[in-house]
């Protein structure tokens, strides 16, 4: 009877070992699949992120162009100096500069033209 119990115990251990080995193999395969799928999704996410970065750069460039176009028009220092020189060349007569009321942009630009006239003739 003792021998039979030993045989049953050893057989049970072998059967449990075989089953646990199968479970471990299945678990490794499933883990491998999960890792592979995760790596694939990560690669796709990286590609999508790179694409979004490129799109963002394009949008930022377009935004800068729009902001530049929306900036108030002003004369540069060089443009004012050139205008003053041209006005001086046409004699001592002054220039009348006007702008639209309640329009800060045209007022600023008119001030730039006025400053060139003052530089040319020394008076308003």
Domain ranges of the chain: 1-71, 74-124
What value, to the nearest 5°, has the Cα angle with vertex 48 and ends 45 and 50?
110
Q: How confident is the model at residue 124 (pLDDT cuts 50, 70, 90)?
A: low
What is the b/e burial string over 54-89, where b = at least 16 CB atoms within 10 angstroms of the residue's CB? eeeeeeeeeeeeeeeeeeeeebeeeebeebbeebee
Measured over all CA atoms, what is the biggest interatomic distance in the chain, rounded to whole angstroms? 133
Measured CA to CA, the distance from residue 31 to residue 25 in angstroms comes to: 10
- Alpha-carbon distance of 4 to 11, in angstroms, equals 10
Q: At what angle do helices 104-121 and 77-89 cross, to 10 degrees?
A: 50
pLDDT tens digits, 73-92: 889 999 999 988 988 887 66
This model's pTM is above 0.95: no
How does pLDDT run across 40-71, given as a tens digit for each residue? 999 999 999 999 999 999 999 999 999 988 88
Does residue 94 register a pLDDT over 70? no
């Amino acid at each position: 009877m003792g021998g039979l119990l030993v045989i049953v115990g050893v057989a049970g251990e072998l059967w449990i070992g075989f089953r646990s080995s199968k479970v471990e193999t299945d678990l490794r395969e499933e883990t491998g699949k999960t890792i592979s799928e995760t790596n694939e999704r990560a690669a796709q996410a990286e590609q999508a992120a790179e694409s979004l970065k490129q799109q963002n750069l394009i949008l930022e460039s377009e935004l800068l162009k729009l902001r530049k176009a929306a900036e108030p028009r002003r004369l540069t220092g060089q443009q004012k100096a050139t205008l003053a020189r041209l006005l001086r060349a046409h004699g001592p007569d002054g220039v009348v500069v006007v702008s639209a009321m309640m329009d800060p942009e045209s007022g600023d630009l008119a001030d730039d033209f006025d400053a060139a006239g003052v530089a040319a003739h020394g008076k308003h």
